[in-house]
Amino acid sequence: MKARAAIAFALRESRGARGRLMFFAACLALGVAAIVGVAALIGAIGDGIRSRSRELLGADVSIQARRELPAELDERIAALATSGPARRTDSRELTTMARNPRSGESELVELTGVGAGYPLYGAVQLDPPGVLDDLGDERAAVGPELLHELGIALGERFQLGDAEFTASAVVLDEPGRLGAAFQAGPRVFTSLAGLDRTGLLGFGSRVRYRALVQVPLAMSPAAVDAWAARLEKELPGAEYLNVETASEAQPTIRRSLQRIERYLALAALLSLVLGGVGVAQIVRAWVATRTQAVAVMRALGFRPREVLFLFATHVALLAAVASLAGAVAGTFLPFLLPALAPELLPRGIELAWEPWSIVRGTLLGVAIALAFAIPPLTAVWRVAPARVLRAEVEPLPAPRLVTWGAFAFVALGVLASAWVQAGSFLLALAFTGGVAVAAGLLALGAFGLTRLADLLPRAKLPVWLVHGTSALARPGAGTRGAVVALGLGVLVVAATALIEQQLSYRLRTALPADAPTVFLLDVQPDQWAGVEAVLQRHGADNVRAVPVVTARLTSIDDVDVGRLAATRGDGQLDRPRWVLTREQRLTWMRELPPDNQLVEGALWSDPATAEVSLEQDFAADLGARIGSVLRFDVQGVPVELTVTSIRTVEWESFSINFFLVAEPGALDAAPHALLGAARIDAEAEQPFQNELARTFANVTPIRVRTVLEKVMDVLGKLAVGVRMLGGFTIVVGLLILAGVASAGAVHRAREVALLKALGVRRITIAGLFATEFGLMGLVSGLVGGVAAAVLAWVFLDRIAEAGGPFAWWAPVVAALATAILAAACGLLASARALSARPIETLRG
Amino acid sequence: MTSAPAVRCVRLTKRLPSGAEMLTILDGVDLEILTGESVAILGPSGSGKSTLLGLMAGLDRPSDGEVWIAGARIDRMSEDELSLLRRRQIGFVFQSFQLLANLTALENVLLPLELTGVRGARARATELLREVGLGDRTHHYPAQLSGGEQQRVALARAFAPEPSILFADEPTGNLDGATGASILGLLASLRETRGTTLILVTHDGEVARAAQRRVHLRGGRVERVEATA
C-alpha cells in the first residue's frame, strides 16, 4: 500500500473525533513540552558556554595551583610570542574575613587579587562602571551582599587582613560563575598589590594561584590545546596544576550541567511515558469502536498488518502534530526561567533558540505514542472477517509473536527514549526497569481494587459506596491505566519531596549535641592561646586544636604521582585524579578519637618506621594498602611515611577528622598551622566572628550552621526543577483520569438518568462518582507513596548515606491527597453526565 | 482441457459450540460453481446459507472438508494468504451494506483500490459511482444516503477491484421491494458486462429466480439443485 493512501486514510480517521484528538494531543504535548523545555534550557546554557568560553574563562588558557606557579611558565609564554604578542595576567584567590572597622561587623568573603588586564577576555561588570585595573592599592570592588552584611555604603572603608580598603564599586556580574553553585561568601576584588597589603598571603594560608594567558591571535585552537597539554606534562610539578583551555569550555560547569541534564531529562521523559499510557488507553477505546470497520476492511482483503499500519499511521500523524505543538511550547520554557529562577543560570549566559531540541522532542513524542499504541492496535489481529456476516463471531486468536512483540515494543521504545534522553545505557536500563516495576506494582494495586470491588458485600453498604465500587469493577472501566499513570506521577513528586525534606531535616538536625559548630582555619601556633581566649569569652566549649601540615603527595611505593595521575580522569567516580594531586593535609596524634575505628593493621606498631594511618575510602581511592610507602613533599622537604593501619571515620560526627594521620614525631620538624574547632551557641557566633576578625584577621572561621544553610539553599534550587517536572506527571495522570471519566460519559449519563428516575438524589450520585474516582486516587496515592518512601529511603540510606527513618506517614498523606484530587477531577470531568435528566432514560 | 471451477466445496462441514454441545451448521456439503456462473443459495433461516458463503469466500474456516477457489485449496491458507486471495479475486455485497461511516461514498469505493495501489483509482471509482447512478453524490457520507443508495455504493465498491467472484449476502434484505429490484437489476448488468461469477445468498425465491442455478439448503445439507432452463 502506498504511503499517500495511508496518510489519506489517517486523515479520514480523524473525522468527527474531536474529543479523542484533543485528549490524545494533551497527553503527548505535555510530556513533549517537559522534554523540550529541559533540553532547550540545558542546550541553550551549553551553547552559551561554548560560544562565550573565552569570556567565561577570561583567557585562552588558565593555569591554577595551590602553590606559586612555576617560573618556567613565563619562558613558555615567551616562546609563544614569536608568532605574535602573548599576554599573561595573574590572580590569587582565598577565603578570608572582611570587617567593618567601625561597627566590628564581619563576614566571610571570597577574595581575589587581580593583576593588570584581568580578565583577558570579557569583563567583570562594575557599578559605577569601570575596570578592575583602576582599583589601585586601596580600593576594592565588592559583591552587593557584602555592603549589606557589613553595613557600609560605597565609598566607605572596610578591612581585609591587616589593610583597609575603600569599597569603590559593586560587582554586578562576573562571567563563569554558576549562580546556583556553592559560594563561601560575597565576592571581593582587589589589585595584586592591594592583596599583598593584607598580609594574608603568609605561610599556611589557603591561596589559589592562577595565571590567565592570552595566546597570539594566529594560533589555532588545536595548537593552543597542544601547548596547554605540554604545560600539564612538562612544567615542574605539572601534576599539581589545573590547566584549562577556552576550547574545553568550562569542563567543570559543563560536567555538572550534563549530570543535571540526565536526571532532569529522565524526569521529563516520565511525563511523556505517562502520556504514552494515556495514548494506550485512548487507542484501546478507539479500536473497540472500530471493530466492525476492521472486519469490513479484512473482508475487502486487508491483511491485519495493513490495518495496523493504517491505524498506526493515524496515531503517528496525530502524535506528530501534538508533539510539535508541545515542543514549540516547550522551547518557551527556558525563556521563562530567568524570570522564575534566575539563580539557576550561570552569569553572563544568554538563552537562544534550540531548533534541534524541537525536532528531537517531536520524534520522541511520536516514538512513545507509537510504542504505546501498538499493543492495543494488535487487537486488529483478533477481529474475525466473518463479523461482516454475523456479529457473534468468536474473535480469532492473535499470533503469540504479535502479543509478545507488542510488549517488547513498548519496553524497547521506553528504553530507547531513555537512552536518547540520559545518554547512558545503564541509566536508561535502570529507568526502564524502575518504571516497569512501579507500573507493575500499580497495575497490581488496580487489579486488587477491582477484585475487592467485586467481593464487597453489596447488601450492607450505602448506595453510593455500592455503585461507586461496582463502577470500578465494570469491564473496560480503564481503571488500571489511570491508576498506573497517576501513581507514577505521585511517585516522582513524593519521592523528590521526601528526599529533599529528609535531607534538609538531616542536615539541620544531624549535628550531634557535642559536635563543633565552628572550625578555625590557618591558626598559627603562636596565635592559639589568644584565639582560645576569644573562644572562652564567647562561651565556647569542646575547644580543640590539632596541627595541620600541608603537603604534596609525590609517590606511592616509588611510583611517581604524575604517572599515577595520568591514568585517571577528574570526573570519574572511582579513583579520581584529584585524590592524588590535591593539597594533602596531615595531622599527627598519639591516639585516635572515638569516632575512628581501626579496620586493618595496628596503630604506630613499628618502632623502626615513620607511620601513617589512612581512612578506608581514601586509601582505596589512592590505591594504597598496608605496607605502602607514601612519599610527601612538605614545603620542599621530602618525608616518607609507611601505611601501617587503615581506619573508618564516622564523618557524621562533624568532628575534626583527617584522611591522613601521621605518627607523632614523624612530622615534628615540618612547619604547621593549627585547625581549631569549638562549639558555640548560634547567637554567639557572629559576635565571636567579629572579635576574631579584629584580633586575628588571618584566621578563617567556617561556621557549620551557615555552610549547611547554604548547602540547603543550593539543594532547594535544584529540587524546584525536579518538582516542577514531577508536577507535569501529576497533571498527565489526572488528565488520563479525566479521560476515563469522559470516555464513559455516555454510559454514565444513562446511568445517572436511570438513578434519578429511580429517585436517587443528585448529591448521592455525585457521592457515587466521587467514591469511584476517589478510590482510584487512593490506590494510586497509596502504591505511589509506598514506592516513593522506599525509593527515598534507599536513596538516603544507601546512596546519600544520610540515614533517616522510613517515612511511614508518606503513603498515607499521598493516598489521601491523591484521593481528594482524583475525586475532584473525576467529578469535574463527569459534570455533564451528572446533569443528565431522568426523561433521558425514556429516550434510550 | 476445461478450466478449474470458480468454487468447489468437498464434504464441507462447520460445527459451532452451543453451550456444552457442538451444533452442526453445515454437514458435508459438496458443491461446484463454474466460472462466470450465477448461483443462488436458498433456504430458510438457520439452514446454513450465510455460513456456507463465509466459508466459500474464505472469511471463515470449516471444521471439516475442503474449499477450492480457482484451483487453489483455501481452507488451509493463513490469514494473510486469505486476505490476499480476497483482495485479488473476491468482492462482497452485504445485507447491511457495511460501508465505513467516516468515509464518503467515493472514499468507500476507493478503499479496495488503494489497497492494491492501482493507477487511476479515483477515475475508476468515480466512473463506477456514475454507473450505479450516484455520480452527483460521491462526496456524501453513508449517513446522508438512503438504504438503496448505500447499497449502490457497496456495489460500486464490490466491483471496483474487478473481482472474478462476487459474494452477495441477502443484498436486498434491508430494502423495500422496488429498491431491491433496482439493486438486483444493477447487480445483474454489472456482472454481465464483466463476466463475474456470482454467488448470492437469499431466502427470497423471487430474488433467486434471476440466477442460473439455485442450491436449496436445509438443515445444513444440500436439499436439491435446480437450473434455469
- Model confidence over A239-270: pLDDT tens digits? 788 888 888 766 777 777 777 788 788 888 88
Q: Is B54 on the interface with A (CB under 8 A)?
A: yes
pLDDT exceeds cutoff 80 at A425: yes
pLDDT exceeds cutoff 60 at A205: yes
B105, B93, B178, B159: which is closest to B135 by C-alpha?
B105
- Per the model's pLDDT, the better-predicted residue between A718 and A412 turns out to be A412
pLDDT in tens, A265-308: 888 888 888 888 888 888 888 888 888 899 999 999 999 999 99
Q: pTM for the full model?
A: 0.73
**Whole-number pLDDT of residue A804:** 66
**Whole-number pLDDT of residue A511:** 63
**Whole-number pLDDT of residue A466:** 72
- Average pLDDT of chain B to the nearest whole number: 90
Query: Across A207-221, A508-522, B28-42, which has the greatest mean pLDDT?
Result: B28-42
Query: C-alpha grid cell for residue A426?
Result: 545503564
pLDDT exceeds cutoff 50 at A610: yes
**Whole-number pLDDT of residue A737:** 77
**Whole-number pLDDT of residue A397:** 81
Residue with cell 505543538: A325
CA distances from A46 to A130, A681, B110 (A): 29, 44, 52
pLDDT exceeds cutoff 50 at A515: yes
Substitution target from B74, B114, B159 for chain A, most A beta carbons within 10 A: B114
- Average pLDDT of chain A to the nearest whole number: 83
List CB contacts of A521: < 8 A, sequence separation 6 or more: A206, A673, A675, A699, A700, A701, A702
**Whole-number pLDDT of residue B19:** 80
For residue B169, which residues of chain A lie inside 8 Å, CB to CB?
389
Q: Is A8 on the interface with B (CB under 8 A)?
A: yes
Between positions 166 and 195 of B, the ones with CB within 8 A of A are 169
- Per the model's pLDDT, the better-predicted residue between A650 and A614 turns out to be A614
**Whole-number pLDDT of residue A176:** 65
**Whole-number pLDDT of residue A574:** 66
CA distances from A159 to A155, A523, A686, B134 (A): 13, 19, 17, 98
Please compute the mean of the pLDDT values over residues A216-237 and round it to a whole number: 85
How many CB atoms sit inside 10 A of residue A627's CB? Answer: 10
Q: How confident is the model at residue A801 (pLDDT cuts 50, 70, 90)?
A: low
List CB contacts of B6: < 8 A, sequence separation 6 or more: B33, B34, B35, B36, B37, B69, B70, B164, B165, B197
Please compute the mean of the pLDDT values over residues A140-147 and round it to a whole number: 91
Phi, psi for residue B20 in degrees, rounded to 5: -85, -15
For residue A301, which residues of chain B lie inside 8 Å, CB to CB?
83-88, 90, 112, 115, 161
Q: How confident is the model at residue A366 (pLDDT cuts 50, 70, 90)?
A: very high
Please compute the mean of the pLDDT values over residues A93-100 and round it to a whole number: 91
Check CB contact under 8 Å for A1 and B117: yes
For residue B100, which residues of chain A lie inside 8 Å, CB to CB?
293, 296-297
Distance CA A480, CA B188 (A): 54
Distance CA A811, CA A396 (A): 43
Check CB contact under 8 Å for A8 and B87: no
Residue with cell 456524501: B140
Question: Out of A143-157, A441-455, A577-591, B129-143, which region has the weakest mean confidence (pLDDT)?
Answer: A441-455
CB A675 within 8 A of CB A702: no
Cα torsion A76, A82, A85, A88 to 10°: value is 10
Longest dimension (CA), chain A: 105
Q: Is B43 on the interface with A (CB under 8 A)?
A: no
Check CB contact under 8 Å for A302 and B115: yes
CA distance B1 to chain A (A): 31
pLDDT exceeds cutoff 70 at B229: no
Query: C-alpha grid cell for residue A668?
Result: 615534628
High-pLDDT (> 70) share of chain A, %:
89
List CB contacts of B41: < 8 A, sequence separation 6 or more: B49, B52, B53, B199, B200, B201, B202, B214, B215, B217
Distance CA A59, CA A53 (A): 9
Runs of H (alpha helix) within A290-303 = 291-299
pLDDT exceeds cutoff 90 at A577: no
Query: Across A490-504, A632-646, A802-816, which has the greatest mean pLDDT?
Result: A632-646
DSSP annotation of B226 = E
H or E element: which one contains A615? strand A611-615
Measure CB to CB from residue A303 to each of B59, B83, B107 and give the nearest one: B83
Distance CA A6, CA A8 (A): 5
pLDDT exceeds cutoff 90 at A721: no
High-pLDDT (> 90) share of chain A, %:
22
pLDDT exceeds cutoff 60 at A809: yes
pLDDT exceeds cutoff 50 at A174: yes
Q: Give the burial class of A413: count Cβ atoms within 10 A of its Cβ; 0-12 exposed, 13-18 middle, 19 or more buried.
A: buried
**A390 to chain B: nearest residue by CA?**
B50
**B100 to chain A: nearest residue by CA?**
A293
Q: How confident is the model at residue A344 (pLDDT cuts 50, 70, 90)?
A: low
**Whole-number pLDDT of residue A188:** 94
The C-alpha R_g of chain A, in whole angstroms, comes to 34
Check CB contact under 8 Å for A302 and B87: yes
**Whole-number pLDDT of residue A833:** 73
Q: Is B92 on the interface with A (CB under 8 A)?
A: yes
pLDDT exceeds cutoff 70 at B37: yes
Measure CB to CB from residue A298 to each of B83, B88, B114 and give the nearest one: B83
B107, B118, B114: which is closest to A301 by C-alpha?
B114
**Whole-number pLDDT of residue A844:** 44
Query: C-alpha grid cell for residue A427?
Result: 541509566
pLDDT exceeds cutoff 80 at A24: yes
Q: Is B119 on the interface with A (CB under 8 A)?
A: no
pLDDT in tens, A778-798: 888 988 898 888 888 877 776
